[in-house]
Amino acid sequence: MLLLLCPLALELLLTKSISLCKAIKYCIGPTVLSIGFTIMVDSIMWKKILWPEFEVFWFNSVLNRSSEWGTHSFHWYFTSALPRSLLAAYPLFLLGVLIDRRVLVFVLPVFSFILLYSKLPHKELRFIISSVPMLNLSAAVAANRIFNNRKKTLWKFLNLIMLGLFFISLGCTLVFFLASYDNYPSGNALKDLHQMGHLNNTDELWVHIDTFSAMNGISRFCENDSPWRYSKEEGIPLEEFFRRNFTYLVSEQLDVDGFKCLQHASGFSRVRLQSSLPPIILVKEPKLYIHGNTKIKDIMQINWAGCS
């Protein structure tokens, strides 16, 4: 948010829309209040003095370690993230800047914000999602101009293109929604495990959740009360699991020593086009697996769906 506010503030100061004294006056109060609240809440929850936003800023920007979570090219926001999020609004936003110069005042700070964020190797759409409303404003200006002039020859052609883009956006939104629905399979895997994996002759059922599963659908809201217990310990070698006291594993690994694969959970893989109806098929494939400890015979007596 600071990267977005800085270009906005600079523009307001350069255009003399606000004075430096007023900017400091109106910003210092909310800043101190916000930082105070976030430090207080997170310090209580983490049981140590902690300013979480500064920790993230230090890790991502100062230490430049965000690349440990994956990297994209410098232009990724402009060539991939924004086209997929804005859809029809993306070409309209570019047109809006060209046909109405007043829009440039609003778009330029946002463009600068995205450009600054592009320098970070690790990129995610959520980092720049706050820029989308302003880009939609530019798109709305273009759509309004096209619609109001739709009776003129050239603008009539542009109006037909715009309507076509709207229908394409609607179709893409539907496909994205269906793909997202199947994009977090580990939540379904844990739900199935709770329904089928209960054992009557044990006090505790220990479930290990690996990093992939924790990032793709499993949260604390998915967990059940006793006898279920959960571990998200990272860095355990595959050959070490059979020495641990885990009852089940929810893992992206198909084979784990000392455990038998009981069931898989499928997730979205890709879109496939075909000549028959429906023209678009969402292809799913196994993304992670439920494993049971081979030492516990009762697990093997349950009618699992299998991993094949």
Over residues 164-185, mean pLDDT: 92
Q: What residues pair up with 271 in beta bridges, in sequence order?
A: 282
Per-residue confidence at 3, pLDDT binned at 50, 70, 90? confident
pLDDT score of 199? 87
pLDDT score of 276? 87
Residue 126 in contact with residue 20, Cβ under 8 Å?
A: no
pLDDT tens, 134-150? Answer: 999 999 999 999 999 99
pLDDT above 80: residue 201 = no
Per-residue confidence at 63, pLDDT binned at 50, 70, 90? confident
Tell me the backbone φ, ψ of residue 265, rounded to 5 degrees.
Answer: -120, 125
Per-residue confidence at 15, pLDDT binned at 50, 70, 90? confident
pLDDT tens, 93-137? Answer: 999 999 998 999 899 999 999 998 898 888 999 999 999 999 999
pLDDT score of 308? 76
User: To which H or E segment does residue 146 belong?
Assistant: helix 132-148
Residue 98 in tokens:
């060209």
Q: What residues pair up with 273 in beta bridges, in sequence order?
A: 280
pLDDT score of 67? 82
pLDDT score of 2? 80
Residue 88 in tokens:
């029809």
Instruction: Give the C-alpha separation, 11 to 157, whole Å.
Output: 36
pLDDT tens, 244-303? Answer: 889 999 999 999 999 999 999 999 999 998 888 888 899 999 999 999 999 998 999 899
pLDDT score of 68? 81
The pTM for the full model equals: 0.75
pLDDT tens, 274-288? Answer: 888 888 899 999 999
Residue 97 in contact with residue 103, Cβ under 8 Å?
A: yes
Residues, the chain: 308
Instruction: Give the C-alpha separation, 4 to 16, whole Å.
Output: 19
pLDDT above 80: residue 217 = yes
